[in-house]
Structure 1
Amino acid sequence: MFTRTQIHFTVAIDFTASNGNPSQSTSLHYMNPYQMNAYAMALKAVGEIIQDYDSDKMFPALGFGAKLPPDGRVSHEFPLNGNIENPYCNGMEGILEAYHQSLKTVQLYGPTNFAPIVNHVARYAAAVQDGSQYFVLLIITDGVISDMAQTKEAIVNAAKLPMSIIIVGVGQAEFDAMVELDGDDIRISSRGKLAERDIVQFVPFRDYMDRTGNHVLSMARLAKDVLAEIPDQLILYMKSRGIKPCSLPPAYSPDHDHAQTTPI
Structure 2
Amino acid sequence: MGYEAWILLTGSLVGISCGMIGCYLIVRRMVMLADAISHSVLLGIVLAFLVSQSLNSIYMLIGAAVIGLATTIFIQWLYASGVPEDASIGIVFTTLFAIGVILISLFAKDVHLDVNHALMGEIAFVPWNTIVIFGAEIPKATATLLGITVVTLLFIIGLYKELKITSFDAALALTIGLPVTFIHYLLMTMVSLTAVGSFDAVGAILVVAMFVVPGSCAYLLTDRLDAMLAISALVGVLSAVSGYYAALWWDVSISGSMAMMGGVIFLLTWIFSPRYGLISKWKKSSTPLKEQEG
TM-score normalised by structure 2 residue count: 0.26
The structure carrying a bigger helix percent of its residues is 2
Higher relative contact order (CA 8 A, sep 6+): 2
Of structures 1 and 2, the larger Rg is shown by 2
The structure carrying a bigger strand percent of its residues is 1
TM-score normalised by structure 1 residue count: 0.29
